[in-house]
Structure 1
Amino acid sequence: MGYLRWSLIALFAYSLVAPLMKIATEEIPTNVAVMVSNTMLVLAAAALIVTTDESVMAYLTHPRAPYLYVAGIALAVGILAYYKALALGPVSVVTPIFGMFLALSSLVGFLVLGESVTARKGLGLLFAVAAVYLSAGQ
C-alpha cells in the first residue's frame, strides 16, 4: 500500500482523536488521558514490531537514533499540550491551531531538508494558514 493510502487512513483515524478526547477529558484528567491513549499506541507499535520481527535494540544506538529521541520529546510535549488545550477549549478552535503543525512541518521540509518548493505548495501553505485563521476565530 502506497503513502497516499496510508495518509488517508491517518487522516480519518486522527480526525476522531480530538472529538473523542474532548468528550473523555470532560471528566478524565488530561494526564490520565495521555497515558491511556498513548499506551494504546505503544501496545499497537509493540504488536507490529513482534509480528514483523523487527529488532528494536539494534536501532537504539544507530547514528540517527538521537533524532528518534528528540522527536519523542517533541511528541510528548505536543500531545500533552494538545490534550490540555482540548480539555480547556473548543475542538473547533484547538484542532485547527494544532493542525498548523502540518504547515510548519512542510516549512521545515523546505528549509532544513531541502525539499522542493513550488508555487503550488507555497499557495497551499498560504491557504492552510488562511483556513486556520478563519476556522479558529471565535
Structure 2
Amino acid sequence: MWWIYALLSAFFASLTAIFAKIGVTNVNSDLATAIRTVVILIVAWGIAIARGELKGIAELSKHSVLFLILSGLATGLSWIFYYKALQLGKVSQVAPVDKLSVALTIILSVIILKETLSLKAAIGALMIICGTLVLIF
C-alpha cells in the first residue's frame, strides 16, 4: 500500500513544481515560500484536528520533537532554495535536479541510519546522480 501513497506524493510534487513556477512569476521567492507554508500549515493542522490526532502531542518524546523540528528546518530551507531556483531556472531542469535528494537520501540513510544498501538502490542512486549532472552541465 505504501507505493500508492508514494505515487500520489510524486504526482502532487510534480503539480507543486508547475504551480510554483507559475506562482513565482514577478513575486519574491521568499514571499512565495511564506505563502505556501501558511497553506501547508493550515491543511496539515486541519487534517490532524479533523482526525483527532492532537492527543498524541502529550506523548511526544524530546528526541522526537527535536528531530521533527530539525526536519521542519530542513524542509523550510529546501523550499526557500527550491523557489529561488524555480524563479531563476526552467521548471523542467530545476525539478529533476531537486530530485537529486532521492540519491542523497539513499546515501545518507546508509551513513546516518546504518541502512543496508542494495545493489539495486546503489545503481538507481548512481543513475539519478548521472542524470542530474547531465541536466546541470
> TM over 0.5, yes or no?
yes
Equivalent position of 2:71 in the other structure: 71
Structure 1 CA distance, aligned partners of 2:59 and 2:21? 36
Instruction: Give % identity.
Output: 24
- The letter for the 1-side match of 2:53 is E
Q: Provide the secondary structure at the position in 2 that maps to 1:75.
A: helix
Where has structure 1 moved over 3 Å in runs of 4 or more? 59-62
Question: How far did residue 57 of structure 1 move?
Answer: 3.5
Q: Give the count of matched residue pairs.
A: 136
Aligned to 1:53: 52
For structure 1, the residue ranges without an aligned partner over 5 or more in a row are none
Across the aligned residues of Structure 1 and Structure 2, the Cα RMSD in angstroms comes to 1.6
* Contact 1:59 1:65 survives alignment (8 Å): no
The question of whether the paired residues in 1 share the 8 Å contact of 2:106 and 2:121 is answered with: no
TM-superposition CA deviations, 1:95-126 (whole Å, max 9, x none): 22211111101111112112121111111111
Structure 2 residue runs without a partner (length 5+):
none
Query: How far is 1:75 from its partner?
Result: 1.0
| SS in structure 2 of the partner of residue 63 of structure 1 | helix
Whether 1:43 and 2:42 are equivalent positions in the alignment is yes
* CA deviation profile, 1:54-74 (whole Å, cap 9, x unmatched): 126425653321001111111
More displaced, 19-28 or 6-15? 19-28
Distance 1:17 1:135 in 2: 20
